[in-house]
A and B are shown apart, each in its own frame.
Chain A
């Protein structure tokens, strides 16, 4: 079955992409299912302008983005779930510093502009090419390059900011 093969070949990558956006296993599975259902419905209109994997990632991004809109979530990414770090493969001893670095990395990413976060996630974690990233985000390739450079500079600045910033300057009653 064509759809089953598509799912076998690409669902892990789609899942990992969505998971990094939502940081919730059940939601990530649900949104992965929604992505492949939309892909099934749009399979006839897929014009091979991009690779299948890239096309699926673009759908996954839109599905996830729609989910955030429906849930009225402000932040596109949620890199601040410490429990996710606790449950991953890092051993408690010897790699404490690395673990701390990773936590800091998540925190720094979370504080970046949305488009910086997106371009870093696709280029550095999903290993998409500039062309693929441009297709998924609907940008030009020049814009991807420019945003990528600025994103890395911003990440470096955020990461090395001593002690970090207070969690926002907005004082709100709630």
Chain B
């Protein structure tokens, strides 16, 4: 509505009156604020300055105890232990720390080099940051410092908790370890928790410790203390305890993991045991391993050098990070790709004269004499390569790659571990993107038997086996519960592969173990309730030239270690109602059937028997050797009945 000039005037007058009133009130408030500033900053400045300089009340953070990690039976696999240490604060030492350090060196071992290092550190850090002088003191040293405290200004003896891994090297790769917070760590965190600034606070560096850091860390408590002008604590005014980090229960079975590590022994390799129904990883073992406690305590450069220069690469996690050409263990993928796409049916077969020729190139079967006519089941049983060469030409690489991904190869599985590899399920698009080259038929032939560009981690091989065994989209799981809250998914969805096709693959894997001409018959389980199905794989790490083939292929044992073939084996059991899938890779181990299969069988037996494999489960001629192996092992003693809880 249109306003009359009179209305506009009246409105302006009204708003003007109220606006002035408002402005007056606001000005009065501003004046009050100014007066308050004057009173605080001018009239009482000296008092505040005094309070500020001698700031007599301080807050000290109480680091929270890190959450414990349990295995599936409640055994503590990462706990906390009491640690005595001593810190020094420059400001409280009166500015000059050197005399204090000299006096300290009479009580605890502190050499010149360490003192120089510390002085440099004090230069860098703020005057009020406590710096850790010595760690893991004995009780005697600790009490000597406490007694002499009056002569040691700014020195605070502290007892804190430090991470300990009671299972030592067994779980090093999967659990990772904690270490002191570095500047680099801090730079990666936005708005870091103040507790991270505390000296010797431990942060998960890799593995589960790093990935579940948030849950494990807990919440800091605080103490309010009154200190005198020298900074010495006079009394505690208030205390708020921190909250311990969550207890994490992993799906791992520490005893099985221990057995797997022992069974792999000094080999360079990996073993993965997975529950085929729930996807829980019961063991995920990379060998050789290292003691994570070394890293927690600060590893010496000699120890570190020994680890990095070892040709078996103990620091690398071969289970999820290492990828290998899967060799013949990949043949189930090629077969299922053929069946599922309808390119072949269950009655299909190929003739193997020992080689096949494609584009003027000869592709050999591992059996020089050939296998003759080979059907689907026999192709797995005898691991005939020519069968898969013929099949690959009909199916094409793209279908094989799609099936590989469906079975979990070339897919990054979501696990709270460091550097989980994706592997490679190569197809035409991949090669174009990666090498800018067209895919060749020969590439398909190599891929069909798990050579060439195909790469899979032992974890992926276990997932593949579990999926073939169940027909379900099994995903690996590592965390069972966090603070008692279950973390496992329900049942996995169906893969959508015709059960009849899966049955053929399973029959083939059964034949590998349990038929006369199976490639891994020696490693079968004779206890019928644990009947096992498996597949061997031997993957070359070098090219065999035509000239060499003419001379006769050099036997593995005659090659230097790092040029020998990788030995692989995947299996599951019991055949009728599968419970566990196992994959084993032995780097440069030689043949899959001779080296990897017996290891996988024994680990599988341990899982099934929930204890040392019973001797009567293996063929008679191997029982004595097994007995001897068991006696030579250094297994952890069974835990006492009540699940031991670590210190809170």
A binds B: no
